[in-house]
Structure 1
Amino acid sequence: MSAVVDSPAAGRTPPPHPAGPRRGGLLAALREPRDVFAQLPPNWFAAVMGTGIVATAAAGLPVRPAGLRTAATLVWALATVLLLALTAAWAAHLRHHRRTALGYAADPVMAQFWGAPPMAAMTVGGGALLLGRDWLGLPTAVAVDLLLWVVGTAGGLVTAVAVPYLMMTRHRVGPDAAFGGWLMPVVPPMVSAANGALLVPHLPAGQPRLNLLLACYAMVGISLFATLIIVTQLWGRLVHHRVGAARMVPTLWIVLGPLGQSITATHLLGTAAGGVLPAPYAGGAQVFALLYGVPALGFALVWLALAAVITARAARSAGGGLPFALTWWSFTFPVGTLVTGTTGLAARTGSDLLAALAVALYLLLLCAWTTVAVRTARGAWHGHLFLPAPPARTAGS
């Protein structure tokens, strides 16, 4: 059996499930309303990531119908509210359920999702600079983005080291345990690189811009090389041990996240390099953005096709359809990074084909986000999403 299970975090003491609904309507599945704070794993912050990317991906689309920017700004505001609400809720969770909160790090599955809070913060920060500036003004938007970038980058660098360290020294991981979630703790530095590139022009000229640019390129390396290692293991697991539990299949889509975000980061860094790096290297950064971005997009599209057909197969095999869980948010942010990456390549090359692809991917993102957001809102309203998830078993043959 696989070690990849959607198991409760070690040390949790979940509230007992009542024999029947406490009452109809809001939080009916919980014994008491306060039990909403008993189970708040870090993957809840994926909802902020998935909502925020819908907004930021719209900001640069090659096709911009009337009202798109206003709608995108409203979605960014929703992501901001979600970030604030989840941060407050998690503070209450930590205060009243400390053992459960600290236990997430001991769980080999849930520990991976500690990468979500840093990325959620930076997604909202990037949206402030790209969209929120219309409401906040540029100086405030830059300040908000810089604050959230610093917080998110610090948190992301911690997860990029701490979670692999736990996997290497404490977690019990089987030979068939690799899953898309292993990428979650190592993707934040790539998000930092992309969002940091947006901040470069707003720093004082000279050393501040140069140091930030170089730091962003270094973080591209951190995430990219770790991604190559993990995707290789994931491919091997899929070939030798098959797909696994149906509820974990959506995590295959996470692979698109570092791929799309790396295309986005190299594009934005190439643009930011002008006037910061010496002439030969600035030109090289522009060339690298294209020569890396197009091949990476090619592999990302192949993985998108694989993930789609595997997901469809798992949904058919599951009988009643793919069981809904917070892992469904894996359908959103990773696809959104493909939108931003493809948009950047389309702007860089002038390709109508890439522009059309960016729009098509954005429509896919909108469909995915609408579906997942509605299901999440419904599950949160009734309280089912605040109950411990049942253990998932491998379904491979």
Structure 2
Amino acid sequence: MTPNWYASVMGTGIVATAAVTLPVRVPGLHLLATGVWMLAAVLLIMLTATAVRRWQDALGHHTDPVMMHFYGAPPMAVLTVGAGTLLLGRDVIGLEAAVRVDWLLWGAGTIAGLYVAVAIPFLMVTRPGGTTADGAFGGWLMPVVVPMVSASTGALLVPYTPAGQLRLTMVLGCYAMFGISLIASLVIITQIWQRLVRHGAGPARMVPTLWIVLGPLGQSVTAANLLGDVADQALPGPYANGLRIFGVLYGVPLWGFALLWAALAAAVTLRTDLPFSPAWWSFTFPVGTLVTATSGLAVHTGADLFRVAAVLLYSGLLAIWTVVAARTVRERVAATRPAGHAVSG
């Protein structure tokens, strides 16, 4: 029971939530997204039940210099399913119940995420051998990107927060978490770039983690625009207007860099013979955040460029998720077969 399996919940959940944010309406897509959200919720329950039953195994990876970073995946999975509950689950369980469930999941995911964002870097700097020998890799971003996911999903809950100081605290708290994740991510991304040009892409099994860099980039643009939309519900006019403008002024340049990184990651991936592992789920959630970022920019700028890009990116996300999910099922089924089993023919 390794924490990186929670990336399957993240990747499945983002397929659902990204569908809701698209700036175009596709017949049947909402129904499909609802079904995918339900699948993500079931996966979250199953993985969490397994983790509780095998808690010693589940918590025993904090000494692994690679796997320990993926303790950021469980809280992000919880936050993703929570956001899907509010956006899609309201059609199934009703708005009031959806809000209550999302508050519960957002609170749990945020608390766990803030803990992980401190605890994992603490282990890295205080424990001998707490980092990988070749330096930074994409997995280093997993613990510190969780507060950014809390910021973007928290923006969805601002309208359901009591007006006054509580709502103001919610908005400012989300912006603070935006800052926590953004600064830490930029520091780490710089180190990843330096490692790549000095040591190359590394072993094939590590190549999918290059895509994780898209996570903080896309999620930060998504958060900036979502928070800008609700800032006027808590802050005075000049600040609210400034934050709404910030979403575009910040988002467009970051979107450009995200496309550059996506092209680089795709080129490295295509030239590598990749063995299957749970790391393949790194192809899904980060691309999903790029979809939500592009959709947000399409809404706020009205540019057809972003509308077309959002649709194309979401189509790519669906294709990637289908391949990774099918391969995961195939590998898990093969792993459960008795040793020496052979198919006659």
Task: Provide the TM-score with structure 2 as the length reference.
Answer: 0.96
Find the partner of 1:381 among 306, 314, 333.
Answer: 333
AA matched with 1:57:
A
Deviation by residue 1:268-294 (Cα, 9 ceiling, x = unmatched):
000010131011100110111010000
Partner of 2:114: 157
Which of 332, 339, 358 is 2:310 aligned to?
A: 358
Unaligned runs of 5+ in 2: 338-345
Distance in 1 of aligned mates of 2:21 and 2:187: 31
Paired letter, 2:279? T
Could you say what secondary structure the match of 2:271 adopts? helix
Say whether 1:120 aligns with 2:77.
Answer: yes
Shift of 1:251: 0.3
- Determine the structure 1 residue equivalent to 2:186: 228
Change (3 A) 1:174 1:53: closer
Q: Quote how far apart the aligned CAs of 1:147 are.
A: 0.4
| 2:152 corresponds to | 194
- Which one of the candidate residues 275, 280, 297 is aligned to 1:323? 275
Match of 2:341 in 1: none
The reply on whether 1:102 has 2:59 as its aligned counterpart is yes
* Shift in alpha-carbon separation, 1:171–1:53, aligned structure 2, 3 A: farther
- Structure number with the bigger relative contact order (C-alpha 8 A, sep ≥ 6) is 1
Rate the CA distance shift 1:240–1:81 in 2: closer, same or farther, 3 A: same
The answer to whether the 8 A contact 2:79-2:106 is kept is yes
In structure 2, the CA distance between the partners of 1:171 and 1:142, relative to structure 1 (3 Å rule), is: farther
Provide runs of 4+ in structure 1 moved above 3 Å. none
Residue 311 of structure 1, CA deviation: 0.6
Aligned partner of 1:280 in structure 2 is 238
Alpha-carbon distance, 1:90 to partner: 0.8
| Partner of residue 255, structure 2 | 297
Equivalent-residue separation in structure 2 for 1:218 and 1:369 (angstroms):
32
Deviations along 1:245-279, one digit per CA (max 9) or x if unpaired, are 00110000000000000000000000010131011
**Secondary structure of 2:233's partner?**
coil
Is 2:54 aligned against 1:93? yes
Tell me which of 33, 38, 48 is aligned to 1:72.
Answer: 33
Cα RMSD of the aligned pairs, angstroms, is: 1.2
Letter in 2 for 1:149: W
Give the Cα–Cα distance (whole angstroms) in 1 for the partners of residues 43 and 206 of structure 2: 24
In the alignment, the residues of structure 1 paired with residue 77 and residue 59 of structure 2 have an alpha-carbon distance, to the nearest angstrom, of 20
Unaligned runs of 5+ in 1: 1-39, 316-321, 386-397
2:121 pairs with 1:138: no
* Corresponding residue number in structure 2 for 1:25: none
Structure 1 residue 237 and structure 2 residue 195: aligned? yes
Distance 2:153 2:232 in 1: 17
Aligned length: 336
Identity of aligned residues (%): 62
Cα distance, 1:176 vs structure 2: 2.0
Say whether the 8 Å CA contact 1:146–1:199 is kept in structure 2: yes
Aligned counterparts, 1:337-356, within 5 A: 337-356=289-308
TM-superposition CA deviations, 1:221-268 (whole Å, max 9, x none): 000000011000000000001110001100000000000000000000
- The residue identity in structure 1 corresponding to 2:100 is A
Are 1:210 and 2:168 matched, yes or no?
yes
Deviation at residue 382 of structure 1 after TM alignment: 2.1
Counterparts of 2:67 and 2:16, CA distance in 1: 27
Q: Is the 8 A contact 1:153 1:188 kept in 2?
A: yes
Q: Which residue of structure 2 lines up, in the alignment, with residue 42 of structure 1?
A: 3
Separation of aligned partners in 2, 1:222 and 1:355 = 30
Question: What's the secondary structure of 1:64's corresponding residue?
Answer: coil
**Higher Cα radius of gyration:** 1
C-alpha deviation, 1:380, in angstroms? 1.4
Deviation at 1:203, TM superposition (A): 1.0
CA distance in 2, matches of 1:90, 1:345: 38
Cα distance, 1:238–1:366 mapped onto 2, change above 3 Å = same
Deviations 1:272-322 (A, max 9, x none): 10131011100110111010000110100000000000111123xxxxxx1
Aligned position for 1:307: 265
2:66–2:132 contact (8 Å) kept in structure 1: no
User: Secondary structure, in 3 states, of the residue corresponding to 1:104?
Assistant: coil
Give the corresponding residue for 2:215: 257
Whole-Å separation in 2 of the counterparts to 1:236 and 1:171: 22
2:340 alignment partner in structure 1:
none
Matched-pair contact (CA < 8 Å) for 2:159–2:233: no
Q: Which residue is equivalent to 1:389?
A: none
Distance 1:186 1:303, change over 3 A: same
Q: Quick one: which amino acid aligns to residue 225 of structure 2?
A: H
